[in-house]
Each structure stands twice: as C-alpha cells, then as structure tokens.
Amino acid sequence: MKKNQAGFTLIELMVVVSVIGILASLGLPSYRIWMENTRIRNAAESIQTGLQKARVEALKRNVPVQLVLGANSAWTVRCVTVAQCADLAGGIVETRAASEGSSASISVTATPAGSNTIVFTNLGTVMSSPPAASAPFTQLAIDSSTLLATDSRDLRVMVGAGGIGRMCDPYPGLSASDPRKC
C-alpha cells in the first residue's frame, strides 16, 4: 500500500520561482515609471496645498501671507511682516521639505522665470507687485529629470489673479473636454 505524498518537487518549485522572476523583471521598468509619475503628482498636490494654505491664512489673519518655493518641491508659508504674526515663530505658518513625498529628481519651474514667491492679500487675491520680490509666479511646471519625455506625465499648477490655484495636465493627448487638460 502506497501513501499519497503531498507537496512540490524541487523542479516544480524552481519553475515557479523562474516564472515569477521573469514576470518581475518585465514589470520593473513600468513600476519605476509609475513611481516617478506618482512623485510628480505628489509634488504638484503638495504645492497646490501650500497655495491654498497661504490664501486661507491671509484671509484668516487679515494680513498678507506669502508662499515661497524652495529647491525642488519644497515650500514655506509665512507672513510677509513677521510682527503681524507674533504668535508664530519667525512668522512661519507651515513648511514642507522636498523629501516629504517627492524626490530630488522632481523639478519645479516657475513662470515668469526666476520667480519663487507669491503673496496673497488679506482678501485672498494675488498681490501683483509684492514687496521686495519679483513679479509673482502664475504657473508652475512640475517635471521629473529622470524620465524620458514620452514616459513623464508632467503637471502644472496655475494661479489666477483671484488667488485660486488649479492643477492641470499639459498632455496633448487629452480631449478638449477633459477637465484635467490645461
């Protein structure tokens, strides 16, 4: 009388491990592209959140509040005049480092070039000529320096004169009726 044996043979196990390895190696490039595009989206959403935070603080405190962009996707929201926000250390409302949800490969380009500050008035509108700063940025292009242009899903954050920020996708393949389109 023979006993039924359960389990896998070594050959069956090696075949399964080989198939899993081949599938993982085929999916790795797509995963890397997906992760980098997720970092682009995280950076764009973070900047849009910073814009909303600065605008709301300006309305709430009834004083001018600015968003200052740092390296990559870092930003700081602070009062223009520190004395008007005496309850905050250095007048800083909130700050975000580029390493929080993003990476060093994410680049943020402001329009007009060289502008890294936007000031919101106590009415929540954009101050057209902020004190001791260049003209405020009206658009930010968020991109990845590690992806090819065909793989990268760049995003833009646009700010209107009324202070409302909008994130959009400049991808030309989107239909004109798509609300994500720039």
If pLDDT is split at 50, 70 and 90, which confidence band does 107 have? confident
- Asked if the structure places residue 4 within a domain, the reply is no
- Asked if the structure places residue 173 within a domain, the reply is no
Phi and psi, residue 169, nearest 5°: -115, 120
The pLDDT score that the predictor gives to residue 109 is 87
The pLDDT score that the predictor gives to residue 103 is 72
pLDDT in tens, 28-52: 788 888 988 888 899 999 899 999 9
- Asked if the structure places residue 25 within a domain, the reply is yes
- Asked if the structure places residue 36 within a domain, the reply is yes
- 3-class SS letters over 11-76: HHHHHHHHHHHHHHHHHHHHHHHHHHHHHHHHHHHHHHHHHHHHHHHHHHHCCCEEEEECCCCCEE
Residue 160 is part of a domain; what is its CATH number?
A: 3.55.40.10
Neighbours of 97 (CB within 10 A): 14
- Asked if the structure places residue 128 within a domain, the reply is yes
Count of alpha carbons within 13 Å of 7, Cβ hemisphere only?
A: 6
Number of domains the chain is built from: 1
- Asked if the structure places residue 174 within a domain, the reply is no
pTM over 0.75: yes
For residue 104, give the H/E element and its range.
Answer: none
Q: Which tokens go with 87?
A: 């309850």
Structural domain boundaries, residue 131: 10-168
Mean pLDDT of 106-115: 85
pLDDT in tens, 121-160: 888 888 876 655 667 888 889 998 888 888 888 899 999 8
- Asked if the structure places residue 177 within a domain, the reply is no
- Asked if pLDDT for residue 1 goes beyond 70, the answer is no
- Asked if the structure places residue 1 within a domain, the reply is no
The pLDDT score that the predictor gives to residue 181 is 87
Q: Which tokens go with 141?
A: 């292009």
The pLDDT score that the predictor gives to residue 136 is 82
The pLDDT score that the predictor gives to residue 110 is 86
> Do the strands 139-144 and 155-159 form a parallel or antiparallel pair, or are they unpaired?
antiparallel
Cβ–Cβ under 8 Å, residues 82 and 66: no
Question: DSSP secondary-structure letter at 10?
Answer: H
Q: Is 108 helix (H, G, I), strand (E, B) or coil?
A: strand
Neighbours of 120 (CB within 10 A): 28
Q: What is the residue whose two structure tokens read 């890397």?
A: 32
Mean pLDDT of 10-24: 89
The pLDDT score that the predictor gives to residue 17 is 92
